Structure 1
Amino acid sequence: MPHLDDAYSLARWLTGNATDAEDVVQDACLRALASLESAEVAHPRAWLMAITRNAAFTWLAKNRPRDLVLAGGAEDAEIYDGASPHCDEPSPESALIEAADRSSVEAAIAALPLPFREALVMREVNGLSYREIADATGAPIGTVMSRLARARALLIDRLGRGSL
């Protein structure tokens, strides 16, 4: 249960839809529960992320055509408010600028190729270590580092150009 929000966040970014993400997380939880007794779980968070990732790919294979390029559906993305709590309300202008910036970043992340997007979301949104991402994806740690570097470079390029 403590990692359920992280699982949902990953599923949300992989499927591009909140409702589909709920279905994926439900399936992942059922899979995790079924294998809990037989599995040796050294890192529960990475273990659940791997199950969620596999459940998402299974769901995508069943429900989305292969030639469909996943864009992530940024218009449905959850709004993350990482600001520290202040008594002062932001001005309407600063709130509008913040929403536009957030929307640009979400759209840029959603436009990333799936392997880059999943690595970036696992690292930057879910806070997994490189080792945990490698365990969850089954990729070597060097590949994880490379994907993160490429994802960050693509984001910088897209956000720097302003062409989303």
Structure 2
Amino acid sequence: MDERQLFSEAVLPHVDDALSLARWLTGNAVDAEDVVQEACMRAFAAIASVQNTSARAWLLAIVRNTAFTWIAKNRPKTVVTTDDTALFEQAGIEMAEPQASPEAMLIQKSDAEQLHLAIAALPLAYREVLVLREIEGLNYQEISKVLSIPIGTVMSRLARARSSLIQRIGMAAKGKAGAA
């Protein structure tokens, strides 16, 4: 099998997942596209080392490393923000039921924005584990490979991320109730 065919079979089916992870790590769609493009070039250069059973985890590890390299090169170390309003709108629209009232749609959109902001506010180590597990659907072993950390660390970071997320959303809900 030649390199192009191997790349097409091993990498291309996972490009959407790679883009999703890059968007979460970089904070916006334009930067994510740059990261995924660079990651695909790196993946093609190393295509001989891929094993079909772990192609997704292999690609996501490359995307993660590429994103961190890109962020270090293009952003101050203390600032990682999101300006991808289309992502917020998309999340609100996808979650809304077709027959929902305008009020229900507004509440769902607000909840989606609140969740997105709460995830974005997590420390990077917790955010990446949470995104890989809950959004990308990777299992603990795959996350361990992508992040090059022990499975126990994956589990503890995920538990802390979920706990922190619950606290942040709970505090935001209390703030809304107090304002009403």
State if a TM-score over 0.5 links the two structures: yes
Which residue of the partner structure matches residue 28 of structure 1? 39
Distance across 2 between alignment mates of 1:77 and 1:111: 16
Whether the 8 Å CA contact 1:74–1:103 is kept in 2: the answer is no
Flag the 1:156–1:115 CA change in 2: closer, same or farther, 3 A: same
Which residue of the partner structure matches residue 2 of structure 1? 13
Whether the 8 Å CA contact 1:31–1:51 is kept in 2: the answer is yes
Identical aligned pairs, as a percentage? 54
Which residue of the partner structure matches residue 142 of structure 1? 152
Paired letter, 2:42:
R
> Quick one: which of 71, 93, 97 aligns to 2:103?
93
- RMSD after superposition: 2.0
Which residue of the partner structure matches residue 169 of structure 2? 159
Whether the 8 Å CA contact 2:141–2:151 is kept in 1: the answer is yes
Whether the 8 Å CA contact 1:105–1:159 is kept in 2: the answer is yes
Matches within 5 A, 1:10-159: 10-66=21-77, 68-73=78-83, 75=85, 77-78=87-88, 79-80=90-91, 83=95, 88-159=98-169
Whose helix fraction is larger, Structure 1's or Structure 2's? 2
Whether the 8 Å CA contact 2:26–2:81 is kept in 1: the answer is no
Distance across 2 between alignment mates of 1:117 and 1:27: 22
Instruction: Specify which structure has the bigger relative contact order, considering alpha-carbon pairs within 8 angstroms and separated by 6 or more residues.
Output: 1
TM-score by length of 1: 0.89
Structure 2: segments with no counterpart, 5+ residues: 1-11
Displacement, 1:161? Answer: 1.2
Whether the 8 Å CA contact 1:11–1:25 is kept in 2: the answer is yes
Distance across 2 between alignment mates of 1:38 and 1:107: 37
Displacement, 1:3? Answer: 1.0
TM-score by length of 2: 0.82
Displacement, 1:65? Answer: 1.6
